Amino acid sequence: MEIFFQQVLNGLTLGGIYSLVALGLTLVYGILHVPNFAHGAFYMVGAFVAYTLMTRWGVNYWLAMLGAGVVVAVLAAISERLVFHPLRHESGLHPMIAAIGLLLFLEAGAQVIWGPDFLRMPTPYTGILDLGGVTAPVQRLLIIAAAFTLMLVLHLFLTRTVMGSTIIAMAQNREGASLVGIDANRVAMLTFAVSGVLAAFAATLYAPINLVYPAMGHLVITKAFVIIILGGMGSVPGAILGGLIIGFAEAFGAFYVSDHYKDIIAFAALVVILSFRPQGIFKGGH
């Protein structure tokens, strides 16, 4: 039984991180209908910025996370302006290739600035709690708490503030939103900034139990894509639920099936599900 709860804990940790990354991706897709392949690079830059703030300037963990959030938000908003905005009327291939160009640039840039090495991010929370037989590293509990708090904050932001509502309005109906006076350009930049903040926070939360390196975003972003396909591209609840499903599938799969092949589980699930339901599980047809 303890082993089972141990996996639940792991599933929540992974699921929380995946959901945060997938949320940013799905918000951007909802607004611009672009699969932002560079989102994983935002995640990676977030981790590096937090790492630098903490190790070089001795900034406190939470402030470093905030700093990373601000830097990546600005970076994401600029990317929207310079890369995606000029292509907003194009569909299909070209925005995707532009996103790939951005991804390649950011990764190479990170390699120039921080080098190709694997770095370990320090965390002040190294303790381990014992919850009735289940050993819970504090960092993992922190990830779970922070991830779900962030989701709640995002939910409140999207539903209770005017700024957040403009994002929802744009995603629902572009022309309608323009008609009532919503500035499409501002909303697009805002959405990118929000997605950047989420990616940077997720990276800073997860990096202490993982490693920081230029290609660290690859696997996370690919899984986030799996999640938003499963949850329906552009759907906020779908991203959270999908993230948790993949997180749990991986945690339990790693333990009960094979730790060696755990990274394949998410993709295999995608292939199997899409073979039977090309429109995803939560969508009534596309």
Partner 1 sequence: MLNRLHGPLGWTLLFLAGLLFPFVVGNDYHLTVMSTAYLFAIATLGLNLIVGYTGQFNLAHAGFMAIGAYTVGILTVDHGFSYWLSFVLAGAVTVAVGLPLGWVSLRLKGHYFSIFTLCVGYIIYLVIEKWEDLTHGPVGIIGIPAPEPIGDFGFETPRAQYYLMFFFLVLGVWAMRRIVNSLLGRTFMAIRNGDDLAEALGINLMRNKLLAFLISVLYAGWAGALYAGFVRFLGPDIAGVHHTFDMTMYMLIGGLGTLIGPLFGSLSVPWITQYLQFLQEYRFVIFGPILILLVIYLPHGVVGTWLGWRARRAAQVSAAAKPE
Q: Which residues bind partner 1 (CB under 8 A)?
A: 29, 33, 35, 37, 82-83, 86-87, 90, 92-98, 100-109, 111-112, 116, 218-219, 222, 225-226, 229, 233, 260-261, 263-264, 267-268, 270-271, 274-275, 278
Q: Among 45, 95, 44, 46, which residue's Cα sits nearest to residue 69?
A: 46
Q: How far is the CB of 260 from partner 1 (least distance, A)?
A: 6
Per the rule left: phi > 0, alpha: psi between -120 and 50, beta: everything else, 24 is: alpha
Q: How far is the CB of 281 from partner 1 (least distance, A)?
A: 14
Burial 221-232 (b: 16+ CB within 10 A, else e): bbbbbbbbbbbb
Question: How many residues are listed for the chain in this entry?
Answer: 286
Q: How far is the CB of 275 from partner 1 (least distance, A)?
A: 5
Q: Among 199, 272, 208, which residue's Cα sits nearest to residue 239?
A: 199
Q: How far is the CB of 100 from partner 1 (least distance, A)?
A: 6
Q: How far is the CB of 126 from partner 1 (least distance, A)?
A: 30
Closer to partner 1 by Cβ: residue 66 or 189: 189
Structure tokens at 132: 């009735």
Closer to partner 1 by Cβ: residue 248 or 267: 267
Residue 275's Cβ-count burial label (10 Å; 0-12, 13-18, 19+) is exposed
Q: Among 115, 82, 100, 78, which residue's Cα sits nearest to residue 34?
A: 100
Half-sphere exposure (Cβ direction) of 50: Cα atoms closer than 13 Å: 35
Q: How far is the CB of 278 from partner 1 (least distance, A)?
A: 5
Q: Among 18, 27, 6, 13, which residue's Cα sits nearest to residue 166?
A: 27
Q: How far is the CB of 42 from partner 1 (least distance, A)?
A: 14
Closer to partner 1 by Cβ: residue 126 or 279: 279
Q: What is the DSSP letter of 195?
A: H
Closer to partner 1 by Cβ: residue 41 or 251: 41
**205, 120 in Cβ contact below 8 A?**
no
Closer to partner 1 by Cβ: residue 123 or 222: 222
Closer to partner 1 by Cβ: residue 65 or 254: 254
Closer to partner 1 by Cβ: residue 128 or 219: 219
Structure tokens at 117: 């090495």
